[in-house]
Structure 1
Amino acid sequence: MTVTEPTAPATEAGHRIVLEAAGVTMRFGGLTAVDDVSMQVREGEIVGLIGPNGAGKTTFFNCLTGMYIPTEGRVTLNGETLPPKPLKVVRAGMARTFQNIRLFANMTALENVMVGRYCRTSSMALTSILRGPKFRREEAATRERAQELLAYVGLAESAEILARNLPYGDQRRLEIARALATDPQILLLDEPTAGMNPKETEETMHLIFKIRDSGLAVVVIEHDMRFIFNLCDRVLCLVRGTVLIEGSPGEVQSDPRVIEAYIGGDDDEEEDQ
């Protein structure tokens, strides 16, 4: 199933604005976790989101993907306001991975990716129970697409291995394959290289470039600064829920406030919520 793309704003360079967050604020009682954050992501662009622990990065992701309803602000995809419901957000064309791996441990790699296709199938409960012709057609198409995506991320030979038995780096790639199974227009990755060795990190970078080159927009939260500055077209740095700086990797990397935020902010800030 192909998602119909509504007309969206275009930038001067001709690339559509796929995702726009305008003045997003998230409060939990008296705590403001995200404070008036705005961001635009264009077609075929990789945007990095960095900041010390407790900066609000994952909370902001949760606001974008419908897991939280922002206290204030607006999130749009292709110019259309996103409903604050994760399934509807996925169907609209946004997919994500999580900071902590959330695979179905006792399902195979292939089955995990097939689960990601659920939002693009139309068989109703009765059809599924009776396993009628429509169900069988969709099941075959889903299996074929899942196999293609496993090959795309380099896991073609691991299709029948239980997710819990895969090496850590392969589990991360499997999560990306499952997200891609939803046919997104934009992919949000929350610390995709956490716990990886240098070789796995490099492979992940090449995979993200490959995804970008296919036309998708990508937003990445990451603590590995070398990785993020080599990967991204633009970078936003959050500190205490607000945007400290937005710019090219070179501009952000050379800003003394960013260095100060990392050196002086880790000890007294909590983990992202």
Structure 2
Amino acid sequence: MPTARRRRYPSDTTTAEWALLEPLLPLPACQTKKGGRPEKHPRREIVDAIRYITDNGAKWRALPADYPPWETVYVFFARWNRAGAVAWIRDQLRRRIRTNLGRCPYPVTLIVDSQSVKAAETVSKATRGYDAAKKINGRKRHLAIDTTGLPVMILVTPTNMTDRDAARELLWRLRLAHPQITQVWADSAYTGQLVDRARDFLHITLKTVSRPKGAKGFVVLPRRWRVERAIGWTMRARRNARDYERLPQHSEAHLTWSLITLMTRRLTRNGPRTDSWTKMTSSKSHSAHSAWRASAM
């Protein structure tokens, strides 16, 4: 086992953050029924390396030498995202924060909005587009958050896909993953047949928040400002300032990792916490987590 690396970068996990994250990761292959070789590098080093790339916007090959090899880190980044581990961590941290705020861990009202960003030359023509309204050639990010501003789901599409078309896919995924959702707030771009479709087929009430008549310049709109703030949070991570990923799923993963870092720091900023995330919101979610963790690798 390599010597433990000295934590020197702002993106590195603290002891309290790692206590939250470690139990949420999939079981190592060597601990599953299929079996496998023991992992060569500590998982904390892998997570720190992923957070470094997301926070600093570096190329994978430019990962500092005191981290594990970039090929190893990238494999874990892709594998965990493909297995649903990144989304699982996001959901569990959100539920914990909501519980600490005295709210139900499962939100029923969401807010959605989109953001168009430029794409680098590494992004293929098949997964990018041109947003004529904003004059941006790249990709569009669709965020669904709860009423506290915490992420529930992220979808990345080409910028030439309209918000209404993307919302069909987003709302469908939300209905499958979060059946308790009953209401979604959005801007005027999500009107039309989408409202009827959401009500009749998904049993979701889609409401819009429009700009006041005659308003000029920037205006803070009720509810929508929360999702705009969440978009601003993702932009603090330099990897998210532009889209560099060949796969839209990896763009979604980087966005999610940046918000995971925000949530772990929010949960641990009031002082050191050594308790791991072993108290789930219910025995049902704990059983589901155990089954998922054993089968994710």
Shared fold per TM-score greater than 0.5: no
More strand by percentage: 1
Higher helix share: 2
